Structures are given as structure tokens and as C-alpha cells.
Amino acid sequence: MNMNKAYLSHLKSSKDLVTPYEATRAGFVSLALERNRRATPTVVEARTLKSIASTAKSPAELLKITQIQPALLTAAGVSEKAAGHMLQQDKGQAIRGLIKDFLEPAGADFVEELVYRFLLTRGDSLGGSMRNIGGGLARQKLTRTIIGALSLSGNSFYWLDSHNNSWVLGRREDASIELHTKGLSWTVKGAGRTLLFDRTIPIVGNRNIDLILINGSFREVTNGTLSVPDRFVALGELKGGIDPAGADEHWKTARTALSRIRDSFSKKGYSPFLIFVGAAIEKKMAEEIWNDLEAGKLQNAANLTNVDQLTNLCSWLCQI
């Protein structure tokens, strides 16, 4: 395989990169299902809050129910993050304001008003976390595809547990690795390779890079390694957003980042492989990606929604 033209194994023209309507639709469905899954704990909490709050005969009696005080604070519009910076007296004032300004005017419906306002605040928090869900799901999909490529070739691997920051010997039957990993490590032709996700490197600056492949096993990779330019094998940008409306902006951001990486390494006399993987790729964007591939500015690219493209890219990544 020509490592500099590896993209030709799964791409024949820019048209192959364009995300089809069916994939866009499926992507929106996946996001909706994930949103519902993540909303389940909040819905259960709201039902519990309604049940407990219903024991109060008036809004003022809610202050006597110790177990729902945090929920009252949430209903007052105070997020968990904000609550951590407030004094107890400030929290009490916020809750009393909720009762006076909103629950008492609701009359007999004060419990419904309380639950509504609780869900309003929690919904805002959930919406904020959902804005980044596309990237998280994309990394999980890429990780699982890499693990699949390694497993099929009989190559063992280690993964970096995000909970305790320790490297663990991987098992292909473990179905949750992609949910908790910050990196993977394997060997190719006797040489170690370590892939790190979402890290900064001194050579480029303080912007996080989505994919960083380093020459060396996980035992050899230290923070100091990230300052040595000849240890980098490949770097890449991963854009998991599926909305076509935001595709061009995501590509502009990624292209700028890739240019910065290219220029930073070029100044030091090095040229690691550069990669782009995206879920929402429109026609004009696909043409620009293809032109960058043909010009050698990119060494590989794939549409995240295309199984064959992603599999070929990940297999190549495991071999370089």
C-alpha cells in the first residue's frame, strides 16, 4: 500500500466523500435517541420531585422537606455549577424567591409549576451537554473501528482508561472501551504506536488536536515525548456533527487547524501524515478535501458515516 495515497483504496473522487441523505437522516435519529437516553435520569428525578412535593399543602411547606432542597434550588434557575459557588444564605434566598414569585402565584398548581421550572433548568444543562455529543459519538465510532481492525489482524492493544488514567490490556469482547478511553496503543512490525485523543502538543500550541499518533508504546510516551517532533506519525481532525448546515463551518475550523499543524512541523523540518474524518460533508467541502488529498496536504480522509471508508482509514492507521 502506498502510504501517501492510501485514500485511493476507498475514494475515487470527491463525490465519494459527500454524505448521502440517508446517512444524515440516520445520524439525526441516533442523536435523538441519545438525547432521550440522557434525559431519562432527569425525567425520573422530576417524577420523584412531584411525588415528594405533593405532600406539601402549600409552597411554604416545601422549605420543610429537606430532601428536595437541591431540587428547589434547581427550579429557582441555579445550575449545579453555580450552586457550588454560592453561600448557604444565598441558596436560601434563591429558593424563597422561587416560592414567592412563582409557586405562590400558581395557587393549587404550585407543584406542577415547581416541576416545570425544575425541568426548564435541567433541560438547559442537557442542551449544553448535547452540543458536544456529536464529537463524543464520533470518537467512540472511530475507536471501536480501530479496535476491530487490530483484533481482526490478531494484534493486541492497550487502552487508556479515562477514569483512573491508567493503561489497560484490551479485550475485543469488552463492549464499553470506547466509552471510557483517552487513547490506544499497539505494535506494528515490532514498533510501538500510541494514539491519543483530544490533546495539546507544544509544537502546535494550546489548541487540542483530535487525533495524535505517536511512534512509541504507551510505556515510552510521556509529556516530554509530545515535544519531540520526530515522534509524531500522524495527526488529524475529527468532526462528528451530522447537521449539513454546520458542515462548512466545521471544515473551515478543521482545515485551519490542519494548516497550523502542517506549518508548525514544517518549520522544524518534519511532515507527519495529516488526516480528516467528518460526518457531515457537503459537495463543495468534499471537493476541497479531495483537492487537499491530491495536493498532498492531506494523506487520508473518510466520511464517518461510510463504513467502508472508515474501516479502510482505520486499517491504514494501524499499519503506518
pLDDT digits (tens, 9 = 90+) for 243-285: 998 899 999 999 999 999 999 999 999 999 999 999 999 999 9
Amino acid 173: pLDDT: 81
- Residue with the bigger pLDDT between 1 and 309: it is 309
Amino acid 246: pLDDT: 87
The predicted-structure confidence for 92-151, as pLDDT tens digits, reads as follows 999 999 999 999 999 999 999 999 999 988 887 776 666 667 788 899 999 999 999 999
3-state secondary structure of 158: strand
Q: What is the DSSP letter of 273?
A: E
The predicted-structure confidence for 17-75, as pLDDT tens digits, reads as follows 999 999 999 999 888 888 888 888 999 999 999 999 999 999 999 999 999 999 999 99
CA distance 40 to 18: 34
Q: 4 falls in which pLDDT band (50, 70, 90)? A: low
Q: 3 falls in which pLDDT band (50, 70, 90)? A: low
Name every residue whose Cβ is closer than 8 Å to that of residue 187 and which is 6 or more positions away in sequence.
155, 156, 193, 217
Amino acid 108: pLDDT: 95
Amino acid 79: pLDDT: 86
**Is residue 166's pLDDT more than 60?**
yes
CB contact burial 143-170 (16+ within 10 A = b; e otherwise): bbbbbebbeeeeeebbbbeeeeeebeeb
Q: How many residues appear in the chain?
A: 320
Contact 197, 183 (CB under 8 A): yes
- Residue with the bigger pLDDT between 4 and 153: it is 153
3-state secondary structure of 57: coil
Amino acid 11: pLDDT: 97
Amino acid 131: pLDDT: 61
Domains of the chain from N-terminus onward:
3-34+132-317 (3.40.91.10), 54-130 (1.10.238.90)
Q: 222 falls in which pLDDT band (50, 70, 90)? A: confident
Query: Phi, psi (5° rounding) for residue 280?
Result: -100, 105
- Residue with the bigger pLDDT between 120 and 196: it is 196
Number of other residues whose CB lies within 10 A of the CB of residue 196: 20
The arithmetic mean of pLDDT across residues 75-103, rounded, is 93
Number of other residues whose CB lies within 10 A of the CB of residue 211: 21
pTM of the model: 0.80
Sheet holding 300-303, edge to edge: 166-169, 158-161, 181-188, 191-201, 205-215, 232-239, 273-278, 300-303
**Is residue 202's pLDDT more than 90?**
yes
3-state secondary structure of 238: strand
Distance of CA 181 to the CA centre of its chain: 11
